[in-house]
Amino acid sequence: MILAAGFGTRLGSLSDERPKPLLPVCDVPLLRYSLALLEAHGFTECAINLHHRGDLIREELADYRGLALTFSPEEAILGTGGGLKRMAEWLTDGGREPFLVLNGKLVVDPDLHALVAAHKKRGAAATMLVRDVPDAERWGAIDSDGNGRVLRMIGEAGPAAGEIVHRSMFTGVHVIAPSLLARLPAGESCIIRQGYLPALRAGEPIGAVLYDGYFQEHSTPERYLDGNLALLRGRARLRHPPGALVGADPSARVAASAILREPYRIGPGAIVGEGAVVGPDAVVGRRARVAAGARLERAVVWPDATVEGEVKDAIVTPRGAFPVGEPKPL
């Protein structure tokens, strides 16, 4: 299941136009990165919960022909636990099987086969994909021993003894057993506080699989811009990209006098006018227009938007340009 119902409040007015899972990264909506990752690992079915601007998510995926999709619209938002609980019967195959969860705001490139295998080998209530980071407390530290068992979570310890070897952040990718999901109440809930923590207190094994590959979440304008720049610059080499992420699409119309400075991505049907300068570090979304003489650097232009004049360190939507502070990679 991909969690895609959140409001995206830290994105400010950007989330009024698009829900966070539809933010275009190198002109590809975030949801399609998760779907490409699942397809590459042989998954065949996926649920997606919907609330904020769920209509746009349905519209975006109307032509999708990969995994069989099941949408779970939430009239009132149910949280990270409640959305899963609502789909419990479907997700667990009637209480018999574990299932995989991904947060819809991510670009991440783990080995999902290895994650699922580690979960099954341990017989865990849940298994979390985690990253060792110097500021784990900022993210709600997940502390584990050298054998991949979680000992402490967001400051609360379970009864299992052991030496803390890894202090990590949770990536938002995890495998959950039916027993943990059964702990959640009906209605709105938090999977960590009302699922994981009670299981930890009860001594149920919770696994932690370390991940050192590319990870980016896109909850703020700064992180969103940095996520685009990371892929443009090759800082991330995704094994399962959802499409072309750099260069100009063959259907884009670029004037002969325009200057393209790598790295850049120009999407299908985009127009770059005479004397315009695109790049370095620029994304021009599908059907977007860069006016004659415009200059674009360290910026992301959304589909159907128009750029005029000089635009730098900004996100440009059909409603206008939104300046962004210095990108801050995770």
Tell me the one-letter amino acid at 199: A
Cα torsion 132, 224, 79, 164 to 10°: value is 10
Distance, CA of 116 to CA of 201 (rounded, Å)? 23
Class of CATH domain 246-323? mainly beta
2-217 and 246-323, same CATH topology: no
Gap between the Cα atoms of 125 and 177, Å rounded:
5
Distance CA 306, CA 287 (A): 9
Instruction: Name the pTM for this structure.
Output: 0.95
**Residues composing the chain:** 330
User: What tokens does 56 get?
Assistant: 């746009």
* Dihedral sign of CA atoms 187, 189, 191, 193 in order: negative
Distance CA(236)–CA(255), nearest Å, equals 30
Residue with tokens 């620029």: 282
Q: In whole angstroms, what is the distance from residue 187 CA to residue 154 CA?
A: 23
Beta-bridge mates of residue 253 = 271
For residue range 107-159, what is the model confidence (pLDDT) as tens digits?
Answer: 999 999 999 999 999 999 999 999 999 999 999 999 999 999 999 999 999 99
Residue 328 has pLDDT above 80, yes or no: no
Q: In Å, how far from its chain's centre is CA 47?
A: 15
Fold of 2-217: Spore Coat Polysaccharide Biosynthesis Protein SpsA; Chain A (3.90.550)
**Annotated domain spans of the chain:** 2-217, 246-323
* pLDDT category of residue 13 using cuts at 50, 70 and 90: confident
For residue 91, pLDDT beyond 90: yes
Does residue 183 register a pLDDT over 70?
yes
